[in-house]
Amino acid sequence: AASREALLDRRDNAFATVQEHYFREPPQIERGWQNHLFDTEGRSYLDMVNNVSILGHGHPRLAAAIEEQWRLLNTNSRFHYRAVVQFSERLAALLPGQLDTVFLVNSGTEAVDLALRLAWANTGRRDIVAVREAYHGWSDATDAVSTSVADNPNALDSRPSWVHTVAAPNAYRGQYRGPDAYRYGEDAVASINKLAEAGHPAAAFLSESFYGNAGGMALPDGYLRAVYAAVRRAGGLCIDDEVQVGYGRLGNHFWGFEQQGVVPDIVTVAKAMGNGHPLGAVITTAAIAEGYRSQGYFFSSAGGSPVSCVAGTVVLDVLRDEQLQENARLVGDHLRTRLLELANRHPIIGAVHGMGLYVGVELVRDRSTLEPAPAETAAICERMRELGVIMQPTSDRLCVLKIKPPLGITIADADFFADALDRVLTEGW
Ligand code: PMP
């Protein structure tokens, strides 16, 4: 413990403290294997929050492929090499036919930033309509369209004038609930129409295809269909941020947009696609990609490097060979059944959101008022860590347990988690 604390002091001296870490007393993690993390004091933790490492930690196929490619060649994507072509083809093949052109970058922020630039360049317009309570990145442009107060308490103040926001389509809490949630779509359509009528038609509508920051809640049925139609009527583009949602996590679908029955014009991907190796992408139509030319050439030194492309290709191979999307569906269903059973006995559980292995457990002080329980959620996460589970609060109210484990977790892992949560909720925290 002394060496862990000494290292924390050194971190505070050498590393920007404005970047917070998980937990008041963070364990010093030194190794990961499959679905577990191991600290320097010999403890293991089930990793329930990692939305990056979808294959699990230390995957031997990924490690071997990265090492081999590193020895062979790693350089930038202005050179002509096989890996960038192979990976781009593999990625494009996962999307509907017209989305056949790939840009490779290093992160989700870069992907969304580039998507916005493509929308601006193609439409000659500036205004963007985005959904409130979302997070899309930390660059100037992506921060401007991120209004999650969990990430930035001042997020709703001083938006640039080109940013227009619509209500987060939360069917559990907010203005429209349950069967009335379709009205969020009507309101968003009205906002989009109003902008067009005022002579400022949107360059693009930007959203996730599943409501990520709420802790993993499906969008109301038909939401994106209605909104995309309105945006296109006004001559704008539809950007879908799949950075958190895509890549099989939802179980039933590889991409979130499939669940909404729409096809976006521009899709952004990152996190899972490199399983922790920095990698992001924008996938769009050839015509929209071509529209970038008015901005000059596109180039990113490490985006689309041979090592990144090989990492991305192996992630797709392992997803397929280990049937991880199917596992996300099966284990996710089991986990939600267990959590709903806990909700019958523990009134603090207001709702169990999500699908596949994108699950949110919303904690409330009162089920009739839905008063959020952020202090309780934080304390429960701390207590779960003591019991060997790593998880974190999410949502703008910080009252949702965010459950996004590697996609290979087992039924036994899900039971270990549910048993630990049952114990914490029974014994107190
Ligand atoms: N979009 C979404 C939906 C995200 O969740 C995130 C990261 N949390 C980003 C974009 C930004 O990705 P990155 O951290 O890789 O820059």
Task: Quote ipTM for the complex.
Answer: 0.99
- How many other β-carbons are positioned within 10 Å of the β-carbon of residue 319? 23
pLDDT at 231: 98
The domain of 198 spans 60-321
Mutation test of ligand 1: which of 51, 53, 112 has the most ligand atoms closer than 8 Å to its C-beta? 112
Give Cα separations from 84 to 79, 95, 97, 246 (angstroms). 10, 17, 19, 21
Per-run averaged pLDDT (10 residues), the chain, 429 residues: 91 90 88 97 95 95 98 93 97 98 98 98 98 96 93 85 96 96 98 97 98 90 98 98 97 97 98 97 98 92 96 98 98 98 98 97 98 98 97 95 97 98 97
Mutation test of ligand 1: which of 244, 266, 402 has the most ligand atoms closer than 8 Å to its C-beta? 244
Helix, strand, coil content of the chain in percent (nearest 5): 40, 20, 40
Distance between Cα 414 and ligand 1 center (Å) = 26
pLDDT at 157: 84
Same domain? For 103 and 64 the reply is: yes
Same domain? For 100 and 142 the reply is: yes
| CATH number, domain with residue 371 | 3.90.1150.10
Distance between Cα 240 and ligand 1 center (Å) = 12
Distance between Cα 335 and ligand 1 center (Å) = 25
Same domain? For 43 and 102 the reply is: no
* Domain limit, last residue, from 263, 296, 321: 321
Q: Which two tokens stand for residue 212?
A: 């990520």
Distance between Cα 110 and ligand 1 center (Å) = 9
pLDDT at 155: 84
Same domain? For 347 and 397 the reply is: yes
259 CB contacts (<8 Å, ≥6 apart)?
209, 210, 218, 250, 252, 253
41 CB contacts (<8 Å, ≥6 apart)?
1, 4, 27, 28
* Domain limit, last residue, from 257, 287, 321: 321
Same domain? For 45 and 114 the reply is: no
Distance between Cα 268 and ligand 1 center (Å) = 10
Distance between Cα 368 and ligand 1 center (Å) = 33
pLDDT at 25: 85
Distance between Cα 270 and ligand 1 center (Å) = 7
Residue nearest to atom 6 of ligand 1 (CA): 136
Distance between Cα 136 and ligand 1 center (Å) = 5
Residue nearest to atom 2 of ligand 1 (CA): 136
Same domain? For 180 and 250 the reply is: yes
Token match 């350089």: residue? 75
Residue nearest to atom 13 of ligand 1 (CA): 108
Distance between Cα 243 and ligand 1 center (Å) = 6
Ligand 1 atom showing the smallest separation from residue 137 Cα: 11
* Domain limit, last residue, from 304, 321, 338: 321
Same domain? For 147 and 214 the reply is: yes
Same domain? For 265 and 148 the reply is: yes
Mutation test of ligand 1: which of 53, 139, 142, 243 has the most ligand atoms closer than 8 Å to its C-beta? 243
Distance between Cα 367 and ligand 1 center (Å) = 31
Ligand 1 atom showing the smallest separation from residue 109 Cα: 16
Same domain? For 170 and 206 the reply is: yes
pLDDT at 152: 83
| CATH number, domain with residue 209 | 3.40.640.10
Same domain? For 285 and 248 the reply is: yes
Mutation test of ligand 1: which of 142, 240, 271 has the most ligand atoms closer than 8 Å to its C-beta? 271
Secondary structure of residue 387 in the 3-state scheme: coil
Residues contacting ligand 1 via CB (< 6 Å):
107-109, 112, 135-137, 208, 212, 241, 243-244, 270-271
Same domain? For 243 and 360 the reply is: no
- Is pTM beyond 0.90? Reply is yes
Distance CA 105, CA 102 (A): 10
Q: What total number of domains does the chain contain? A: 2
Token match 């992001």: residue? 280
3-state secondary structure 204-242: EEEEECCEHHHCCECCCCCHHHHHHHHHHHCCCEEEEEC
Same domain? For 287 and 421 the reply is: no
